Structure 1
């Protein structure tokens, strides 16, 4: 496999580690984030490269052969959080992605991105270009919690496959978990308690950089006002509870804004999956990132677990760089479910060739 826009390697982990899928060998990974590439090398080997995908393609630099190319072109151009989506150059980075698919000789490709991609004009453009390269395309919006991740993260997943493989394609993957109360016999979604309930309160505020093992379960040094704000939010509460319980320490902009998102400055629930973990999970003003009952934001270790990374996965970089890697990652459980589909497609080709 080749992993493009590889980040820390959540997709590679899901495909190569038998705890999730297994059976794939990572031969090349590319990303333009130096710290993410360092993490990728630490966990998967020295074949990860830091570089710009457009420059790599336009310069004609070598591309290794592969059976499958996976990747998540940067999602900010599609995200509803990006108020200037039109004209964002990041929307078009699927084009060099597919150029590498063609040059690698891959039989299958996987593109993972935000849910909004599925209904965007770019999806139609991706499908049209892939068709011109001899691929058929299938696409679904998948919920990470349906595949064992303790997080309600919804992502568009596009699978392209050479037309002669169509009979082997079964997509989306069969779910392994389901929402509580669903009319099926699947285990219920994994919860925040399942993921982080065994962790003690964090000790200290520092992290040892570029040394193994990294201790990601560290605290912060909140201001006195921030500490009071944390305490004013009850279990399952949010910024509206802060406004009701402690208006004197509520930011004026929140008081003026009487409607809007209910996750800001919210507490996670013990017995539900996490909300989507983003790159600034350590800032509760960015979302529902307060610990369920301790008066603090979640730690980097807790965020990594809520993404599905095992504790033996080692991250490289600063606090902010590691947070970005975690928030941008593909949950390995979701990646593993996709990997199983791809493996079935490729196994069918091998059987046919035999």
Structure 2
């Protein structure tokens, strides 16, 4: 397989966990993300480069292409400017498809991609006379929590196949009380409980490793990412007022910023606290800033003798909420690693897609919806 816009390798991590998939090329423009990918999956097939600079003749033929062109242009957090050059990078993806001739390719993107003009153009290319006329497309939304990820992260998934139409995978998990035959969603408790509540440092270890001829910070273990911050007294006072599932609307007037005081609606997850009994909301790139979303640690008890953890989640906790395994290795500064975590495809979601695709790629599927496969957190040890 080829992984395009590979980032730190969340999608490759999931496909490798599903067994039977071999990456022969990955392409990533960001040096530190490419270094993280190389640290986990090898530097020899990792291309740290602008995808547009890779010649056609260097693109190998493969069975599968995976990847997600940068999503910021489509995100409802951005301007959705159709002229944003990042919105055009999907055309490079199509160039790779044309030369690699995969049986299947998979695109992952933010949920708003589904209603974008770029998605409409992609669909048009899969009609007679288009660049992708030999492919049949299946597309829709997948919720990461439905596939074992302890996070309510909704994404657009496109599966394109020239070996017969392949449907999207069916959920392997369900919200409590909705489907009795499926395991329940994983919660923040499943992945955050047991980690040290008080990080002992605010900094990564001093370490450098060479990748692509350049020294980058790393290689760091997941436990090295359990780093705290130094919040102000005002911030700590705000944290103490926020109950699980709550947010800025739980703050008394004297703790409200001017913009919060004047904005009576919207941004409900700002300064929010997670809940132990639910998956987190979407982990974005600035999860270490509670003013950006629901990123406060879920432990909270209101009374004076209660036990509360009044801090945002750490990088390690964010990586666990994204379903990265603890043996995953990281390169970059604190900000760069946070960006890698927030931008990644959750490995468990990728693994579910990989397991779903495997029988089609092997020619053993009847192109009907297969039975759900439990995730690795639900399967018995060994």
1:98–1:130 CA contact under 8 A, matched in 2:
no
Which residue of 240, 245, 251 corresponds with 1:231? 240
2:124 is equivalent to residue 111 of structure 1: no
> SS at the partner of 1:8?
coil
Taking the aligned partners of 2:280 and 2:264, their CA distance within structure 1 comes to 25
> SS at the partner of 1:188?
coil
Given the two structures, how large is their TM-score scaled by the length of structure 2?
A: 0.85
Aligned counterpart, 2:273 = 267
2:159–2:166 CA contact under 8 A, matched in 1:
no
**Number of paired residues?**
339
Gaps of 5+ in 2: 206-216, 300-308, 367-382
Matches for 1:8-27 after TM superposition, within 5 Å: 8-17=8-17, 21-27=18-24
Aligned counterpart, 1:123 = 119
Aligned counterpart, 1:50 = 48
Gaps of 5+ in 1: none
How far residue 211 of structure 1 moved from its aligned partner, in angstroms, is 3.6
Taking the aligned partners of 1:69 and 1:299, their CA distance within structure 2 comes to 32
Deviating more after overlay: 204-213 vs 64-73: 204-213
> SS at the partner of 1:289?
strand
How far residue 212 of structure 1 moved from its aligned partner, in angstroms, is 4.2
Give deviations 1:199-220, integer Å, cap 9, x for gaps: 1212211112414435111111
Matches for 1:315-334 after TM superposition, within 5 Å: 315-334=330-349
1:265–1:284 CA contact under 8 A, matched in 2:
yes
How far residue 349 of structure 1 moved from its aligned partner, in angstroms, is 7.3
Please tell me the root mean square deviation across aligned C-alpha atoms, in Å: 1.7
Taking the aligned partners of 2:99 and 2:317, their CA distance within structure 1 comes to 39
Aligned counterpart, 2:353 = 338
Which residue of 286, 291, 295 corresponds with 1:285? 291
Aligned counterpart, 1:240 = 249
> SS at the partner of 2:273?
coil
2:177 is equivalent to residue 207 of structure 1: no
Which residue of 174, 192, 197 corresponds with 2:193? 197
Which residue of 34, 38, 56 corresponds with 1:37? 34
Taking the aligned partners of 1:212 and 1:175, their CA distance within structure 2 comes to 33
Aligned counterpart, 2:369 = none
1:79–1:85 CA contact under 8 A, matched in 2:
no
Given the two structures, how large is their TM-score scaled by the length of structure 1?
A: 0.92
